[in-house]
A and B are shown apart, each in its own frame.
Chain A
Amino acid sequence: MIKKEGILFILLALVVLVAGCTDKEQKEEIQTLSISGQWSPQTIDPHLSGFMHQRLGYVETLVGVDYEGKIIPNLAKSWEVSSDGKKWTFELKDGIQFHDGTPFTAKIMKESLERSFIQSASVFGKIPVTSIEAPDNLTLVISLNSTFPALPAYLSKGESAALAPGSYDANGNVTKPIGTGPFIFESWKPEEEIVVVKNPDYWGHVASVDKIIYRIMPEALTRKMLLDSKDIQIAMILSPDIAEGYTEKADYTVLEQPIARVRMMTFNTEKEPFNDKKVRQAINYAIDRETIVNSVLSGYGTTAEGLFPPQFYWANKDIAPYNYDTEKAKTLLNEAGWVDSNGDGIRDKNGKPMKITFVTYPERAELPPIAEVIQQQLNKVGIETELKVLNYDAAESLRYKGDFNIFLVGRGLLFVPDPDEIMMTDYHSNGTSIDGLGAYRWHNDTVDQLIEQARTTSDEAVRKELYDEVQAIVVEEAPVAYLNYYVNIDVTTSNIKGYRLHPTEYSLDLQNVSIA
C-alpha cells in the first residue's frame, strides 16, 4: 500500500515539476554579455518606470547626460529657449528609426511625451507645460506657463522616452517597448531577466556584443557567485567587502564611481550650540573624513568637500575644504564661549555642558557606524554626544519636531541632472523652513537670491556661476557638514573592455562594451 502510494506521489510530483518548469536550452554562435544587478523594472512600460529600460539602452530620450552629469544632445541635436524662457524649441536628429522601422518624427515624440506626462504625472507634474507642438517633422515646441530651466534635465528621465506607436496594444498599454536605442528589447521575465539584442541600424555607435542578458539577482552574494562561476561578466553594485576580494585577482577588474548621493550631517541651527556658525565650523574641522572612509567604508567612498562630487559639472571645484584640524576646532569652540571650566573634559557655557543629540537611522547600514566614529572624534575636542539610532520614520519625526542637534543622512542630489531642485528643497529658505532633509531652518538671504536668480535664466554657464557661489557660501556658513559621497562598485571579468560606470546612473552604455 505504502509503496504504491509513494510511487504515485513521486510520479505526481515529477509530472507537476516537468509541466511547471520547462527547460530552455539555447545554443547559438553569438557573442552574449551577461550582467547582473538587483534592480527589477517594476513594469514593462517605460513611461511608468523608466530607469532600467533606459540603462539597458533600448529606449532613448530627447536629451542625454554625459559623464559629468551635464545635459547633452541625444535624440534632439539642439534646442533653444525664447527670451521669456517659456517656449522651448527642440530640433530633432534626422534619419533616426525606431526598431520596427518607423521613422522617428516630431509627431511621434509629441504623442510619446504627452503620454509620459500623463502616465508619470508624479515625475513631470511640476513642469508648467501648456502645450507640446510639432510644427514640422523635426521640430518640437514645448510651451510653458512660467520659466523652468530644468526642463531638459527632466527630459533626460527614462519616463520621457520616445516610444514607437507599435509599442502599445489596442488599449494603449505597452506590450513591447519599441525605442530607438543601440539595443532592441527582446524579452522580459519579471524578477528574472531582461534580454536585449544589438540594433545593427543604430544611429550612433553600433554595439559590439550581439546580445545582452540582464539577470535580476536581489542578493549581492549571489551576484558574486555568478561572477565566480563566470556565468556573468559584470556584477553590478557589490559591497566593499565583496569587492575587496577581487582587487588582487588578475582575471577581474574592480570599478568604482562616486555618484550623486552624499552622506551629510545637518545641524539644528535653531538651537544652541549650533545656532553659532563658529561651532558648526568647529565640528567640520573636528571630523576626520579620511578615517571614516577608511574604517567604516573599507576605503570605498570619496571624502566630500562640497555638495557635489568634483567629477560633476555642477560641482564648485574651488571650495576651500575643512581639513582635519582639532586645534582649529578647539580654538573656534573657545571663541564661541564653549570652554571646559570645571575640568571634567566636557566643554560648557553658562553652566551648561556641551551635550548634543545625534540622530541617524539604520536602514542605510553604514550610517550608524559612521555616527559612532564621529561620536569619538567629537569627544576628542570636548563634546559629549548622545547617539540615537532610530528607524527612518521615527528619526524623521524627531527631526521634524526639532528634537536633535545633528542629523546624519544619506541624501540623493540629482533626481534630475539639474541642481535647481536640490537647491530649492535643501538650501533655499522656502525649502529649509519646511520639513525636508536639507539644511534645517537655515536662512541666508544671499543664497536665496542666487538660487532665484539662477531660475530666471537658461544660460548654463551663468547658472553654474551662481550655483558655485551658493555652494561656497553653504560650505562657509556650514548649516550642514558634508562627509563623503556614495560609491558604486561593479566588478567585471578582465576580458570586458569599455565598461564605464555613470555618475548619475543614467545609462550603462553597453554599446561601448566589448568582450576580448
Chain B
Amino acid sequence: MMRTILLNRLLQLIQVMVGISLITFTVISFSPGDPAEITLRATLGTESPPKEAVARLHEEMGLDDPWHVRYLKWASRVVHGDLGYSYQTKRSTIEEITHSLPITFCLASLSILFSASIAIPLGIATALRQNGLVDHLCRLSSVIFLSSPEFFVAMVFMLIGGVYLGVLPIAGAGGIKYFILPSLTLSVGLIAVTMRVMRTSMIETLEQDYIRTARAKGLSRRIVIQRHALKNALIPVLIYMGTQFGWIFGGAVTIESIFALPGLGRLLVNSVSSMDVMVVQGCMLTFAVIIVLINLFVDLAQLYLDPSIRSHGE
C-alpha cells in the first residue's frame, strides 16, 4: 500500500515537472517585452537602458533561437543537474531557491500553526453548539476576516504590534519574531475558512450512524466526540490545510512583499516580471515537488487516520 502510493507520487512528480516547465516556458516566451531590456533596467537602475547594451545581452541570452530550441537547451541542462543561473544576479538558481525556501517554510509553518490552533477548537465549539452565540460570532468574524484585503490586515498588525506596542519588528527577515506579524496576517484568512470546514465536517460526522451506535452503547458524548468523531472529522480539515500549506509557498507574495521577507513567492514574482526564465523554471519545479510532497503527506496521514481507506486498499 505504502509502496504503491510512493511509486504513484514519483511518477506523478515527473509528469507534473515536465508539464509545468513546458507550460511556464511557453508562456514566458510568448509574453511581450524583451527579457534583455527588462534585465538591464534592473541591473543598471535606469528606465531606458542604451540600445547597444540591450542588443549585447540579447545575444548572450540566446534570445534569437526559437522558443522550443531554448526549451530543449534548458531541459538538457536540467537533466544534467544544472538549473542554470539568474541573468539579473548572476547567482545560480539553486542558490536563489535555497536562500528563499527556508523563509517561506517558516512563514507557512507558523501560519498553519496559528490558524490550526485557533480555528480547530473554534470549529469544534461551533459545531457542538450550533446557532449559539459563539457560532454566530464566529460566522460573522469569518466573513469579516475573509473579506479583509491582506495588505489592510498587514497594516493593522504592523500598527498594533510594531508602532503602538513596539514589541515586534515591523518588517524584514531576522529571527523568529520577524515571522510573527506576517504569519498572523496570513493566518487571518486561513482561520476564516479552516474554522468553517472544521464546523461542517464535525456536524456531518456527528450525524453518522456509528456515532449514534456509540452513543446508544452508552458512551458519554465527550468520549464519543474525542474518540470517534474528532478523528474522522479532522480528515477534510487536514486535506484543506495541506493545500493551504502548499499555496503559501507561491501565493503569499503580498505578505512577503509588505513584510520584506525574501521568500519564494517574491522570488517567483520578481523573476517572472524580469523574465528571468531559469529562475522561474526553478521555482516552478520547486513548487511541483512541494505540492506533490504535501499530497503524499496528506495521503499518508489520511491512511493513518482512516482505517477504512487502509482496508479498502488492501
Contact = CB atoms under 8 A, between A and B. Distances in A.
Interface in B205-257: 230-231, 234, 257
B242 to A, nearest CB: 12
B155 A393 contact: no
Interface in B102-146: 102-103, 105-106, 109-110, 113
Interface in A203-254: 215-219, 221-222, 225-226, 228-229, 231
A52 B43 CA distance: 10
B162 A13 contact: no
Contacts of A229: 162-163, 166, 170
B89 interface: yes
Interface stretch (B45-53, B72-80, B185-193, B281-289): B45-53
Contacts of A18: 176
A186 interface: no
Contacts of B171: 217, 222, 225-226
Interface string A10-34: 1001001110111111000000000
Contacts of A16: 105-106, 109
Contacts of A415: 44, 46, 48-50
A10 B113 contact: yes
A226 B159 CA distance: 10
Interface in A70-129: 121-123, 125-126
Contacts of B51: 425
B159 A225 contact: yes
Contact of A190 (B45, B89, B172): B89
Contacts of A411: 47-48
Contact of A221 (B56, B105, B151): B151
B90 A225 contact: no
A23 B170 contact: no
A23 B105 contact: no
Nearest to A223: B171
Nearest to B57: A122
A330 interface: no
Contact of B46 (A216, A394, A412): A412
A309 interface: no
Interface residues on B, range: 35 or more
Nearest to B174: A24
Interface stretch (A42-50, A282-290, A295-303, A471-479): A42-50
Contacts, number: 148
A425 B49 CA distance: 12
A191 interface: yes
B260 A1 contact: no
Given A125-B53, A125-B56, A20 B106 contact: yes
Interface string A408-432: 0011100100000100010000000
A219 B33 CA distance: 24
B88 interface: yes
Interface in B167-187: 169-179
A57 to B, nearest CB: 16
Interface residues on A, range: 35 or more
Contact of B172 (A17, A51, A215, A219): A215
A51 B103 CA distance: 27
Contacts of A278: none
Nearest to A157: B44
A191 B266 contact: yes
A216 B260 contact: yes
Nearest to B177: A23
Interface string A49-67: 1011000000000000000
A123 B53 contact: yes
**Leading 5 A-B pairs by shortest Cβ distance:** A23-B175, A122-B53, A191-B262, A412-B47, A393-B32
Given A21-B174, A125-B56, A192-B172, 11 more contacts: A17-B109, A21-B179, A43-B89, A48-B90, A192-B173, A215-B172, A231-B162, A410-B47, A412-B46, A412-B47, A425-B51
Interface of A: 1-2, 10, 13, 16-18, 20-25, 39, 42-43, 45, 48-49, 51-52, 121-123, 125-126, 159, 189-193, 215-219, 221-222, 225-226, 228-229, 231, 261, 391-394, 410-412, 415, 421, 425, 437, 505
